[in-house]
């Protein structure tokens, strides 16, 4: 199979290559695509050197599938060109997610929505993916009325430049002595500000969680109240999630439903200090769920804490899983 990775030299793009290799995705020809300044650079994939090419060269090669992680602008311009060349596109940017003609997919939850005519498929926001993984089976069982979620998102969600900012601050550099991507220092600080603020007072990141939840779960009646926060953690997003259901529930059954969800691992033994943490989720594909407990302040209320590697299940792994799903459905060659 001919596979293009657009944005191959970025944080998510490099993870996509790692995941493709780890999962033995059937790559026969690889087309790593990056900006003009990176064209000609060599990367290693499965023990072989590959040359970074331009988008035009990759399109001319007519790949079977392209995994995109090069930002909304590149996706807006290039995804239709790849699709017109007969290439299935899995896009990790925000550009196509809420387009009513495009599917927004977490394979374990709604992979069934993908059809043979879907040439551009959107990968959801990292914070939405990890929240909905444990919530999807609970919604089926008890019907979620309301979600209140607070996120604790790592700097790798912003990219290499944000990681460099935090490391410069930890090295003792003063504000103005390094390139900053955040409006304030991030080391030893917390920013209740991810993406741009909108007229309603929420950030774009927060509204992504609202809108994408409705689209993925196919239920616009769920009330979602999000606050998204950037924390000085290298990798791994954490979320505090408060739920209100229409029906009563049993805690043991809740734990079983989450445990039975493919891609979810319950870590919930507070007596022995067992709970999810980004330090131990880093580099793993599962969403880890713990601190599962009733909310005594509301009827049929539940609290939980979930953690995931934002570059893997929150981005690269989910994209590769979508491509794997396309193979299972017969929309991509199996080899």
Q: What is the CATH number of the domain that holds 163?
A: 3.30.360.10
Query: CA 14, CA 159: separation in Å to the nearest integer?
Result: 12
Which pLDDT value is given to residue 30? 98
Query: Tokens in use for 235?
Result: 């990798």
Q: Are residues 73 and 30 in the same domain?
A: yes
Q: Are residues 228 and 322 in the same domain?
A: no
Q: Are residues 105 and 132 in the same domain?
A: no
**pLDDT tens, residue by residue, 106-148:** 999 999 999 999 999 999 999 999 999 999 999 999 999 999 9
Per-residue pLDDT averaged across 30-34, rounded?
A: 98
Q: Are residues 64 and 203 in the same domain?
A: no
Query: Tokens in use for 231?
Result: 């924390």
Distances (CA, A) of 209 to 127, 137, 152, 183, 322: 7, 18, 14, 23, 20
Which among 147, 136, 141 is positioned nearest to 242, based on CA atoms? 147
> Above 90 in pLDDT, residue 57?
yes
Query: Tokens in use for 225?
Result: 């109240």
> Above 80 in pLDDT, residue 49?
yes
Q: Are residues 271 and 322 in the same domain?
A: no
Q: Are residues 21 and 169 in the same domain?
A: no
Domain count, the chain: 2
Query: CA 17, CA 316: separation in Å to the nearest integer?
Result: 8
Residue 296 belongs to some domain of the structure: yes
Query: CA 142, CA 302: separation in Å to the nearest integer?
Result: 11
**pLDDT tens, residue by residue, 5-29:** 999 999 999 999 999 999 999 999 9
Q: Which domain holds residue 73?
A: 2-123+315-328
Q: Are residues 302 and 198 in the same domain?
A: yes
Q: Which residues are catalytic?
A: 126, 237
Which pLDDT value is given to residue 299? 96
**pLDDT tens, residue by residue, 299-318:** 999 999 999 999 999 999 99
Q: Are residues 111 and 141 in the same domain?
A: no
Residue 292 belongs to some domain of the structure: yes
Residue 293 belongs to some domain of the structure: yes
Per-residue confidence band for 32, with pLDDT thresholds at 50, 70 and 90: very high
Residue 45 belongs to some domain of the structure: yes
> Above 90 in pLDDT, residue 334?
no
Residue 47 belongs to some domain of the structure: yes
Q: What angle in degrees, to the nearest 10, is found between the helix axes of 204-217 and 126-142?
A: 40
Q: Are residues 300 and 200 in the same domain?
A: yes
Computed over its alpha carbons, how large is the radius of gyration of the chain?
A: 20
Query: Tokens in use for 155?
Result: 């700097």
**pLDDT tens, residue by residue, 200-258:** 999 999 999 999 999 999 999 999 999 999 999 999 999 999 999 999 999 999 999 99
Residue 26 belongs to some domain of the structure: yes
- The answer to whether the beta carbons of residues 231 and 143 sit under 8 Å apart is no
Which pLDDT value is given to residue 158? 96
Q: Are residues 319 and 305 in the same domain?
A: no
Q: What angle in degrees, to the nearest 10, is found between the helix axes of 251-260 and 126-142?
A: 130
Phi/psi region, residue 159 (left: phi>0; alpha: psi -120 to 50; beta: rest), is: left
**pLDDT tens, residue by residue, 66-85:** 999 999 999 999 999 999 99
Which pLDDT value is given to residue 173? 97
Q: Are residues 140 and 98 in the same domain?
A: no
Mapped onto helix, strand or coil, the DSSP state of residue 31 is strand
Q: What is the CATH number of the domain that holds 97?
A: 3.40.50.720
Q: What angle in degrees, to the nearest 10, is found between the helix axes of 11-22 and 317-328?
A: 50
Residue 334 belongs to some domain of the structure: no
**pLDDT tens, residue by residue, 262-294:** 999 999 999 999 999 999 999 999 999 999 999
> Above 70 in pLDDT, residue 335?
no
Q: Are residues 165 and 253 in the same domain?
A: yes
Residue 216 belongs to some domain of the structure: yes
């Amino acid at each position: 199979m001919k596979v293009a990775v657009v944005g191959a030299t970025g944080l998510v793009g490099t993870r996509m290559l790692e995941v493709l290799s780890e999962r033995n995705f059937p790559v026969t020809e690889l087309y790593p695509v990056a900006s003009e300044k990176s064209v000609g650079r060599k990367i290693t994939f499965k023990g072989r050197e590959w040359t970074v090419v331009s988008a035009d060269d990759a399109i001319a090669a007519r790949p079977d599938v392209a995994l995109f992680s090069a930002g909304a602008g590149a996706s807006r311009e290039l995804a239709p060109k790849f699709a017109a060349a007969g290439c299935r596109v899995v896009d990790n940017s925000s550009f196509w997610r809420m387009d009513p003609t495009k599917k927004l997919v977490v394979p374990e939850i709604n992979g069934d929505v993908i059809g043979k005519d879907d040439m551009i498929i959107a990968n959801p926001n990292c914070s939405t993916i990890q929240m909905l993984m444990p919530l999807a089976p609970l919604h089926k069982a008890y019907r979620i009325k309301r979600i209140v979620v607070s996120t604790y998102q790592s700097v790798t969600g912003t990219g290499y430049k944000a990681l460099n900012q935090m490391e410069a601050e930890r090295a003792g550099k003063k504000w103005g002595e390094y390139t900053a991507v955040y409006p304030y220092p991030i080391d030893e600080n917390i920013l209740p500000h991810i993406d741009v603020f909108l007229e309603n007072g929420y950030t774009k990141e927060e509204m992504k969680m609202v809108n994408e939840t409705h689209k993925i779960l196919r239920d616009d009646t769920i009330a979602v109240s999000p606050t998204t926060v950037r924390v000085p953690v290298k990798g791994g997003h954490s979320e505090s999630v408060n739920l209100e259901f229409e029906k009563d529930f049993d805690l043991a059954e809740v734990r079983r439903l989450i445990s039975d969800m493919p891609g979810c691992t319950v870590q919930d033994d507070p007596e022995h200090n067992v709970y999810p943490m980004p330090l131990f989720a880093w580099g793993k594909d599962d969403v880890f769920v713990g601190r599962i407990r009733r909310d005594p302040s509301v009827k049929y209320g539940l609290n939980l804490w979930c953690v995931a590697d934002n570059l893997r299940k929150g981005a690269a792994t989910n994209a590769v899983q979508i491509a794997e799903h396309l193979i299972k459905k017969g929309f991509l060659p199996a080899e």
